[in-house]
Amino acid sequence: MTPEQITLVQDSFAKVAPISEQAATIFYDRLFEVAPAVKPMFPADMTEQRKKLMATLAVVVNGLGTLEAILPAASALAKRHVAYGAKPDHYPVVGSTLLWTLEKGLGEAWTPAVAAAWTAAYGTLSTYMISEAYGTAQAAE
């Protein structure tokens, strides 16, 4: 990621943060709509899960400038997701759902440059997480 992309991700996330509860609800509603098979992996009461999502996104977004500092936590998160039933093919669905949610939340502030920056950020992190959880061969697929 370029420094400009990092700034775009961080600045756009700062605009979503005030509506984080609503954004998390929109995200999970959309995820369960496009990938209903993942719903059993989640608790019936999504309150804490929504908070965890936004807290994790905040840590990642704030750490993009020093990516090596957040990679150990990303690795641990990826390995925990295996135990929850996550598969490598879930990552693209989650990524597209995240981008869709950000587009809805940001409205006119969702520009092609912001979209490209978020795509790069998610791609970098998800490739790393898949590699950590399932091995390098899975990440390359």
The pLDDT of residue 140: 45
Per-residue pLDDT of the chain in tens (141 residues, 90 and over written 9): 899 999 999 999 999 999 999 999 999 999 999 999 999 999 999 999 999 999 999 999 999 999 888 999 899 999 999 999 999 999 999 999 999 999 999 999 999 999 999 999 999 999 999 999 998 655 444
Distance CA 90, CA 141 (A): 13
The pLDDT of residue 135: 85
| Overall pTM surpassing 0.85 (yes/no) | yes
All domains of the chain in start order, with CATH: 3-140 (1.10.490.10)
The pLDDT of residue 60: 92
Distance CA 138, CA 132 (A): 10
Distance CA 47, CA 49 (A): 6
